[in-house]
Structure 1
């Protein structure tokens, strides 16, 4: 055995729908095998995917004069605008983040120029279908150095064998740094319970809010009449159109409900608990999935900052480190190039708070007027003083404190004469 397959925590195959599962003898009882179809699970996928996709990604360079945007680098517009000819930057990161969340990791193929003066330059970035990706580890070092990682992509035209430096590999949770842990697998029972709750509500409304029950009768009837009587009652009682209508019961028959109500089964409490547990697994705050029971106008802003610190920051750092290592050459990294997301859109405060911040930064000499205007997306002012750092006139060096109170004395020889 020259290679070992990395431990696979996802299923080798997927069941497309309930009918496919039944062919294999699996009874799903109305529960979809696609966890993304559960409302809370899907909402968490959407929130995190949308959040990552809307953050601007910029290439920066650290220099002796500070950090600058590397707008003159060919990669700057590639990731800012269009990583490949088929996807905008927003669409690209939405797809990458969705795969990372759903499968536990996401793999992107780095397409480079193979020959010529620009050989090695990145032409495009393409997210791979994670259902077709396998990860192999070369234990014996037959092809490459010891423990080299290979990504096998199974296409309709055969297999693509990609080395670790030919792909971007973004993780969720992982215990070995090779294979990601899929949230859908670790929340399998919980998500299926939530799907069962949705199915319960759907059937309840399909039946016109009409409960199941027992139809009692005093006389003996044959099996054929039983079937006809059952079908007759179902036609009269089931369906939304029959909701609230009068149900005629023939003489000698009695209907008794055997279904508990939603309140009796504590449906709402259990459903809320499932929502909280699924959202917590993704790091999504409850107010983001429209659960506003404990939310107020003031604490939602704080929860948004907590969402960045507790959830987004580690995700963004993971993206930035992988992009900086794989897309920038060793020479470029030594020259100070690195990728960074702009999170101002998430942490952006109220207009009053921003005005106070800019006032303090400007009067303290940290930023010029034009730098402050750029932060607010306002045009620069054509004034030489707009690029000059200023200080409040009351600020003086510490070794000069008190000198302003020393009275000036006239020179020897008496008072000055006019």
Structure 2
């Protein structure tokens, strides 16, 4: 019996050989030793996140910028606490260094912004204290956190080492360095926020790299040109170029005309994938803001912004974000100044400029403070950056007419030996009004020591005022009494005062200069 024909065998494939890396393939290595692979997606893990990598994420940079500039715009004030608890301005020789020019190449804003930026990104900020013509703190030289080493000695003092440009380490004492720290586990070295939220940063960085690769390598046209006829390759290229010139660029959206044998087939894009990608990228910002305590709405998170919560978001940023940073930046200055100028000296960052309301709100506040005598006109002008008034009255406090202290009211009552009768108060019924008495008449302008007014009531028999009051005046034919409407600046006031007629005069008293 003949054997069946053998079945044909498919040809064997050679085993795949591992791909060798090209000799020209680039490998990028950061200065801190982080390896970033040349793949557009890379393999960036949480352990590879450094401050230099983290700041490339737009949300990280926005958070650090917000904190740094928020601290930088706060003016610096130096004060001293008095034994009675009050506080006053203090201007030591180093005041110019701290408040205006820390060094020869930076302004106060540049210096404070840099230190806050370093602290927000690296967890630490350093400045070297250099002595000179303004005492022990004449110049403040910034030192990058990656070039500083910190160590605690056996006596709990802190020693520093700074890597100079020539590669040598310079030892520094604790009183020669200003050290700003973020949150710390040991109180010596601040933790880097980029390491704390490395997972979020790694995800955000991967999304950025993926977006770049998508737009660089994506090959998804808007439509296809379909025809039943066979077209050569040169004709295809020519047709494609004609469509690009006629309907591309500035002509995009213009009506198109094709032959009857050509169809235009639109490409359905993956809208669901794109929307998920956008949502994932949008979630990065609030996640990053959560680590630094910055409201995401102040960094462009329109999804959480509401018209009703704008003001509260600004207050929240001041209380829960910038206020802790304000105290963080004040601390190293206090520790440097107090051993030299005393424990009662302090440095304060003035955040009132960040809390300024609109014009109407500020005007209402100034008016209330001025009416209660707690602020002078020149202090109001200084807060609004106006020129001060060269008048002594502009440096005095004022109160509304009718307001007075308890001490002043008691002194006035004792000096006049009378009761202040409220406006429209009905005189006591134990006397009868007369039109004339003691050479004076009702409606006459009279004067006394320290005041003037117009007589409203005259009496010659009875009690003027509340009977039984220590300030009541008993009137007789020999000693008439009068109820006088008090005037101020030739205008009647709401007060009346009881006076004996013998204490009144029909003309103002002459001054010593006039009598001479």
Query: TM over 0.5: same fold?
Result: yes
How far apart are the structure 2 equivalents of 1:15 and 1:320?
A: 34
Q: Structure 1: 5+ residue runs without aligned partners?
A: 1-13, 212-231, 246-256
Gaps of 5+ in 2: 1-28, 222-236, 242-246, 254-266, 411-418, 428-463, 466-472, 482-500, 502-516
Comparing both chains, which one has the higher relative contact order based on Cα–Cα distances under 8 Å and sequence gaps of 6 or more? 1
**Match in the other structure for 2:69:** 50
The TM-score with structure 1 as length reference comes to: 0.74
Per the alignment, do residues 103 and 390 of structure 1 end up closer, same or farther by CA in structure 2, a change over 3 Å counting? same
Structure 1 residues 184-333: aligned runs within 5 Å: 184-207=194-217, 210=220, 261=271, 263=273, 266-326=276-336, 328-330=337-339, 332-333=341-342
Aligned counterpart in structure 2 of residue 70 of structure 1, from 61, 79, 90:
90
The structure whose Rg is larger is 2
CA distance, structure 2, for counterparts of residue 202 and residue 22 of structure 1: 15
Match of 2:413 in 1: none
How many pairs were matched up?
354
Contact 2:93 2:134 in 1 (8 A): no
RMSD after superposition: 3.7
> Following the alignment from structure 2 to structure 1, what is the Cα–Cα distance between the partners of residues 361 and 87?
25
Task: Give the one of 107, 114, 120 matched to 2:126.
Answer: 107
1:27 Cα deviation from its structure 2 partner: 4.9
Q: Secondary structure at the match of 2:129?
A: strand
Structure 1 residues 17 and 176: CA distance shift in structure 2, 3 A: closer
Change (3 A) 1:27 1:281: same
State yes or no: 1:413 paired with 2:480. Answer: no
- Return the match for 1:371 from 362, 371, 379: 379
Q: Tell me the alpha carbon deviations over residues 22-72 of structure 1, each in whole angstroms, 9 at most, x when there is no partner.
A: 49xx9536998611000111111111111111211122233479433334x
Conserved in 2, the CA contact under 8 Å of 1:17 and 1:32? no
Tell me, yes or no, if structure 1 residue 148 matches structure 2 residue 211.
no
Separation (CA, whole Å) in 2 of partners of 1:38 and 1:277: 12
CA contact (8 A) 1:133 1:154 kept: yes
Shift of 1:416: 3.4
TM-score (norm 2): 0.61
Offset at 1:203? 2.3
User: 1: CA distance between counterparts of 2:59 and 2:134?
Assistant: 46
Structure 1 SS opposite 2:209: helix
1:131 equivalent to 2:151? Answer no
Sort the Cα spacing of 1:338 and 1:147 in 2 relative to 1 into closer, same or farther, 3 A: closer
Change in 2 beyond 3 A, CA 1:397/1:150: closer
Q: 2:101 aligns to what?
A: 82
In structure 2, the CA distance between the partners of 1:392 and 1:83, relative to structure 1 (3 Å rule), is same
What do the CA deviations read for 1:273-301 (whole angstroms, capped 9, x no partner)? 22111011111111221112232344212
How big is the shift at 1:80?
Answer: 2.0
Would you tell me which structure has more helix in proportion to its own residues? 1
Structure 1 position 312, deviation (Å):
1.1
